[in-house]
């Protein structure tokens, strides 16, 4: 399904992590709006590293584009957009027969934490 507002957005590069500035450019949203959306949408949880720097993964950039579409193009309120995302998430969970295993995101977060611990131990 093509996003009707995506034609004016640049393609998402094949990188693993994106800074808040990069995400802002990729999604045509200012960084302060992204920080606000993190508070309003529990699904949006970028990895935070030293200095509280945020690093977004591709699935989060796609989620931000979906949120942007719901709010700016389809005219939903924050609450309505959140409900739409929750409904879509519930439909997906029911369709894929989730087993309660760790998600790819959880595994990625664990890998990052382990890399940071390894750097501390090497120092």
What is the rounded distance in angstroms from the CA atom of residue 73 to the CA atom of residue 118? Answer: 45
CATH of domain 6-122: 1.10.1660.10
15, 106, 101, 113: which is closest to 56 by C-alpha? 15
- Of 2, 3, 1, whose CA–CA distance to 71 is shortest? 3
Tell me the whole-structure pTM to 2 decimals. 0.69
Domain-wise residue ranges, the chain: 6-122
The SS3 assignment for 75 reads: coil
pLDDT tens-digit profile of 11-60? 999 989 999 999 999 999 999 999 999 999 999 999 998 888 999 999 99
Express each pLDDT in 67-112 by its tens digit: 999 999 999 999 999 999 988 877 776 665 555 567 777 888 888 8
C-alpha pair distances (Å), 103 with each of 5, 106, 108, 110: 29, 5, 9, 11
């Amino acid at each position: 399904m093509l996003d009707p507002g995506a034609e004016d957005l640049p393609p998402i590069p094949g990188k693993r992590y994106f800074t808040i500035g990069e995400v802002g450019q990729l999604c045509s949203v200012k960084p302060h709006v992204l920080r606000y959306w993190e508070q309003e949408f529990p699904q949006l949880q970028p990895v935070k590293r030293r200095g509280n720097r945020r690093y977004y993964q591709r699935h989060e950039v796609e989620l931000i584009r979906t949120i942007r579409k719901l709010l700016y193009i389809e005219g939903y309120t924050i609450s309505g957009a959140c409900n739409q995302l929750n409904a879509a998430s519930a439909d997906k969970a029911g369709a894929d027969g989730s087993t309660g295993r760790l998600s790819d995101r959880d595994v990625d977060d664990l890998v990052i934490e382990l890399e940071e611990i390894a750097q501390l131990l090497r120092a």
